[in-house]
Structure 1
Amino acid sequence: MSTENPRGGERTAVPLHGLLPTVDAPAPERADAARNRRRILDAAARIIAEEGPRAVTMNQVAHASGIGVGTVYRRFGDVSQLLWALLDDRERRFQEAYMSGPPPLGPGAPPAERLDAFLDALVDRVGEQRELLLAAHSAAPGTRYHSGAYRVMHTHVALLIGRLRPGSDSTLLAHLLLAPFSPDVMHHLTVEQELAPARLKAGVRELLALRA
C-alpha cells in the first residue's frame, strides 16, 4: 500500500498493518476461544437489536450466548468493555471503506476530498450507532480514546491533515477535529437539537480551515 507522510512528504510503500493500528486486534486465539468471543458478541448484538443497548448486562449476555457468566467477565471485564468490543467489531467494515475502498472515501482522491468524505461518512456512522455509542460512552467515558476504532480514525485523519497542512501539528488537529463526534455531543445535536445529518455535515465543513 502507498501512503502519505503525516508531514506532507513523499508517498512511500508501507504495509497497511504497519501504518495504522488494527481495530480490536487481540492476540491469536485458540479456535474455541474465538468461537466463544463471537458467540458473546453476537448475543450482545441480538439484545441490543431487541431491547436497546441499556438493556445489556453480563448475566443476560451469558444466558443468551450459552456461555458461563464467569467466562464472559474474564473475557470482557464489564459491560462497557463489552460494548466497546462490539463497536470495534462493527468498525472493521467502516475502516475497510476508508483505508482500501473506492475514492473519495478510500485512496485515490485528493486529501481534501478524502477528508470531506470521511467526515460525512462519520456523521452517518455515528448516527446509525448513536444509542450503542452513547451507552458505551456513558458507562466508561474515557474508553473511546483508547479503543482501536478511535486510534485508527485519529491516525487516518492526522495523515490527511499532514498532507493538507505540511508542518502543522496534525496529531493535535486530528483530535480536535474528531472531538465533535463524541457520542454525548452527537446525541445532543441529533436528538435534543434535532439537527439533520445534512446540516451537521455542512457545519463540519465550515469548521475546516485546512485549505485556506
Structure 2
Amino acid sequence: MTLRKPFVWFDFGGVLSPSLPELFDTYAERTGIPSVILQEAMAAVALEYSMPTLAPIELAVVDERTWVRKLHEVIAREYPGVDLTRSELDFGRQWFDGHRANESVRQFALELATSGIPVGILSNNVVEWEPYWRPMVGLDCVVTDVVDSCKVGVRKPDPSIFGLAAERNGVLPNDCILIDDIAENCAAARQSGWSAVQFVDAEQAIGDVRELLSKRNALSSHPV
C-alpha cells in the first residue's frame, strides 16, 4: 500500500504567532487596558451578535474599527476609570507591532515544505490584520494554501472549515494533520477525519507531528 502525501496545517494564533498570553500582556502594557478587562469586553461584544468571542470579527461580520469602538464602549461603561486614549482603532497594527513569529514552528514549516510535504495555514483571523501577520510569519513563499475564516465565512471549530480546506486542495481528510493550540479545534478536526496535534509548546508539537509522519512512512513501507 502506498500512502498519499500528508498535508500539514498550521494554526496561526498561538502556534505560528507568539503565545496569546504574550500578545495580551504586550497589548496591556501599550494601552493600559488590563488583559482581563479586554477579554471581558471582547466577550461582551460577541454576545451582541450571539456569537463566540472574536467570531464577529473573525467572520468579518463587523469591521475592525467598529469592533474596537464597541470594545471601548463596553470598557468605558463597565470600567470608567480605564484610560482608553492609547488604544488605537487600528487594533491589528498595535497588537502585532514588534512581535515575531514562533521561529521554531516557522522553521519546521519550512523544513516540511522543502522536503516536499505540503503545508498550509488554517486560521481564525481578521481581514484587517493580514498586512501584519502574514509578513511576520513569512511563509507565503512555501505555503500551499491559507484558509482564513474571515475570507471563507466559517471558523474553527465548525467542521465545514476542515472539509473546505481538504476539498479545495484535492486531498482526503485522513491526509491532513492540524497543529492547533485549542483543544476544541483539535477535537473538531479529528471528528472530520483529520489527525490533530494540540500545541503546548514548539518542541512537543513538532515532536508529535514527526511521530505521526513517521507512522505514515512505516505504513507505506509495509504493503498489505
TM range (shorter): 0.3 to 0.5
Higher helix share: 1
TM-score, length-scaled by structure 2: 0.39
TM-score, length-scaled by structure 1: 0.40
Higher strand share: 2
